[in-house]
Amino acid sequence: MPSSFYVTTPIYYVNARPHLGHAYTTIAADVVNRFNKMRKAETYFLTGTDEHGDKIVDAAERENTTPRVYVDRISKLFRDLWPELGISNDDFIRTTDKKHIQIVEKILQDIYDAGDIYFSEYEGLYCFGCERFYTEKELVDGKCPDHQTAPERIRESNYFFRMSKYQDWLVEHINRYPDVIRPERYRNEVLSFLKEPLEDLCISRPKSRLKWGITLPFDNNYVTYVWFDALVNYVSALDYPDGKKFIKFWPSVQHIVAKDILKPHGIYWPTMLKAAGIEMYQHLNVHGYWNVDESKMSKSLGNVVEPLSLKNKYGLDAFRYFLMRDMVFGLDSNFSEDALVNRINSDLANDLGNLFSRVLAMVHKYFKGCVPQIDPTIDDSFSVSLEKDAAEAVTEFEICMDKFAFHRAIAAVWELISKMNKYVDITAPWELAKKKSGIRELEAVIYNLLEGLRVISGLIYPVMPDTARTMQKHLGNDPGVPFYELDYLRKWRIIRPGTVLPKTVTLFPRIDVKKEKTTDHDDDQKIQTRLKMKPEISMEEFAKVDLRVATITAAETIPRAKKLLKLEVDIGETRTIVAGISGSYSPEELIGKQVIIVANLKPAKLMGVLSNGMVLAAVDEKECTVAGMDKVVKPGTPLS
């Protein structure tokens, strides 16, 4: 059992807003982090953003802004999203942090001094999307397998890391520690890359081509590029080389990534560590992709799923549960809202929710809300089975979580839930309650069920921390007790008889499938009736509306106006507009965004501010989403 535990996610590029894929990795890291708290390990959880490189410069240019302003804005979107998703990270690193830059410089200098970085000319096939060179063999039909675009041939003088020198060592290490890269399929993939001679890694870009990076400490004309910068975050966050955190946590590091970045993490990073004299990481845990309609979710394919809107619609714990239960860690999974609703209705509302409210309702019905005491003289051999089932669930859960087999760990808990539901049916407490002689058995049955629920509430804690706490509250637990610790879950007869329990609650309301279904298959007529459309207008009437593309240049809240934001927008001239979107957007995240406005609406004063136009937005009961353009457009461009 580890005494310290360190988990990392990839640091995400800030060239796109966070989506379901990022949310999955970060929630998975949160789940293992919480699981290690269950084992009483001292834990450290790192996530962050990767902010240098061509892509960032391009994205900033598209927004007519500087890389600095741009990275600050997008990095904040990630940082602000994590608390919304219940993420308990201890640190959030940015590759533009001063401390990180200094440590990258130190490692580069150390490896350079040791002779493992050299200068040379190189010509190769470069994919701008992946920000790396490809060998002919790696291409599929001459294209990058990830971006499906042909790479460009580039010739340049650059610095190279002598990666080839460490090839034999790496093969040996992986063979000696077979689960260092897991699941097995990814270890095999790395070993199969390593069957071919490893080329040295190009680690720089001339400043003439790219300035937005970390300058090489030994050559002022070059910046380090992508992986030598990004991968180092895992040790720079711990204050490598002599920080207390580094000494304590590095030996227990667990990296989590998806298969897209297997090669940098399975090959570049280990060889970099070896060259820098840093101990090899403990495990690299690799998961598959969340796909939508069988394609990887990505901004360029336009099929991204927004984690926040799913959380808002279905609740945080249900969302986290679905992600962890539905994906087999290591394999791809196809995302569908139907599957999410099914899981909520069957696993959460039916299995867990019903068991919980059924048992608590019986405590109130038969014992006036008071936890019953088991008579010591009673033969309760029938309840021993439940204690055994719970202990088995805890053991299985621990084994599976330790291997990152989240879906199996959860299945073990649901097996216990199913056994408990059967236990209720078999022992039939309502029959026992009818006979006077049944009362002692009834006390034992209900007490054991409460204990089973206590164990379940602890086991679901890493995945559904809020629900776990709600259950605990209703089981009368002392809030100061670390109810989720495994040692505590292995015990039985913990709940104090006589404790008065609060009335039951619905943990997960059932989702009305009909109501939530989309309108995809409805015919036009039905949609028209249901949408209560406004009366028809002529083309001339519509042409009177002056719709323009506007770039938001400033945004601030209006004192005492809950929903309103005061915006300055650029439409070729500067306008002030008051928009009722404050509940759904923070002022910071709006800056730089392009929206569509009605430019010729009669000015109106709102909360003392003269609004000169109106921002278009889609509004439903929960939130509003501003209308925008598919690509960046010159501010002021009219829409027709």
Pick from 5, 7, 22, 458 the residue near ligand MSP by CB under 6 A.
22
Is there binding between residue 290 and ligand MSP (CB under 6 A)?
A: yes
Question: What would the x/- binding string for ligand MSP be over residues 56 to 75, using CB under 6 A?
Answer: --------------------
| Alpha-carbon torsion (543, 546, 551, 555), positive or negative | negative
- Within 8 A by CB and 6+ apart from 574, the residues are 553, 568
Q: Does 12 bind ligand MSP (CB under 6 A)?
A: yes
Determine if 212 is a binding residue for ligand MSP (CB under 6 A). no
The distance of closest approach from Cβ of residue 334 to ligand MSP in the complex, given in angstroms and rounded to an integer, is: 11
Rounded Cα–Cα distance for residues 407 and 331 (Å) = 12
Q: Which residue is closest to ligand MSP by CB?
A: 21
Is residue 24 a contact residue for ligand MSP (CB under 6 A)?
yes
Q: Is 50 in the site for ligand MSP (CB under 6 A)?
A: yes
Q: Which residue has the tokens 């021993």?
A: 384
Residue placing its CB nearer to ligand MSP in the complex, 232 or 599: 232
Other CB atoms within 10 A of residue 610 CB: 11
- Are 445 and 385 contacting, i.e. CB atoms less than 8 angstroms apart? no
What is the spatial distance between Cα 289 and Cα 404, in angstroms, rounded to a whole number?
A: 16
Considering only 103, 203, 238, 261, the residue that binds ligand MSP (CB under 6 A) is 261
Q: Which is nearer to ligand MSP, 253 or 257 (CB)?
A: 257
Binding residue for ligand MSP (CB under 6 A) from 6, 7, 21, 465? 21
Position 266 contacts ligand MSP (CB under 6 A) = no
Helix and strand counts by DSSP (H, E) for the chain: 25, 25
Number of C-beta neighbours around residue 28 at 10 A:
24
Mark the segment that binds ligand MSP (CB under 6 A) among 4-12, 121-129, 270-278, 592-600: 4-12
Tokens for 474, please give them.
Answer: 């209703």
Residue selected from 72, 105, 179, 260 as contacting ligand MSP according to rule CB under 6 A: 260
Near ligand MSP by CB under 6 A: residue from 101, 297, 310, 409: 297
Site size toward ligand MSP, by CB under 6 A: 20
Q: Which stretch binds ligand MSP (CB under 6 A): 161-169, 230-238, 411-419, 604-612?
A: 230-238
Q: Rounded CA gap, 461 and 156, in Å? A: 53
d(CA 435, CA 323): 46
Asked whether position 289 contacts ligand MSP by CB under 6 A, the answer is: yes
Residue with tokens 């201890």: 90
Token code pair at residue 27: 């929630």
- Residue for token digits 């994906």? 327
- The residue (of 235 and 352) whose beta carbon lies closer to ligand MSP is 235
Q: What are the residue numbers of the active site?
A: 19, 22, 127, 130, 144, 147, 296, 299
**How far is it, in rounded angstroms, from Cα 7 to Cα 30?**
8
Cα distances from 616 to residues 10, 130, 550, 579, in angstroms, run 36, 36, 11, 9
Residues 6+ apart with CB under 8 A from 101: 95, 214
Hey, what amino acid is at 252? S
With CB under 6 A as the contact rule, which of the stretches 18-26, 312-320, 485-493, 527-535 interacts with ligand MSP?
Answer: 18-26
Site membership for ligand MSP, residue 592 (CB under 6 A) = no
Q: How far is CA 138 from CA 150, 270, 394, 419, in A?
A: 12, 21, 44, 50
Applying CB under 6 A, which part among 65-73, 256-264, 402-410, 588-596 lies near ligand MSP? Answer: 256-264
Query: Which residue in the set 38, 57, 223, 231 belongs to the binding site for ligand MSP (CB under 6 A)?
Result: 231
Structure tokens at 110: 């150390």
Q: At what angle do helices 316-326 and 465-474 cross, to 10 degrees?
A: 120
Stretch near ligand MSP under the rule CB under 6 A, chosen from 58-66, 229-237, 400-408, 607-615: 229-237
CA 296 to chain centroid: 16
Q: How far is the CB of 74 from ligand MSP (least distance, A)?
A: 10
Q: Is 296 in the site for ligand MSP (CB under 6 A)?
A: yes
Judged by CB, which is closer to ligand MSP: 81, or 297? 297
In terms of CB distance, is 74 or 578 closer to ligand MSP? 74
By CB under 6 A, is residue 253 in contact with ligand MSP? no
* C-beta closer to ligand MSP: residue 50 or 380: 50
| Site track 390-429 with ligand MSP (rule: CB under 6 A), x = hit | ----------------------------------------
**Under rule CB under 6 A, residue 246 binds ligand MSP:** no
Taken as a whole, the chain contains a residue count of 640
Q: Which of 587, 551, 623, 634 is nearest to 73 (CA)?
A: 587
Can you read off the two tokens belonging to residue 176? 């000696």
Minimum CB separation of residue 44 from ligand MSP in Å reads: 17
**Among candidate residues 10, 15, 18, 6, the one with its CA nearest the CA of residue 79:** 18
CA triple 59-60-64, angle to 5 deg: 120
- If one asks whether residue 476 binds ligand MSP (CB under 6 A), the answer comes out as no
**Would you count residue 322 as binding ligand MSP (CB under 6 A)?**
no
Residues that bind ligand MSP (CB under 6 A): 10-13, 21-22, 24-25, 50, 230-231, 233, 257-258, 260-261, 289-290, 296-297
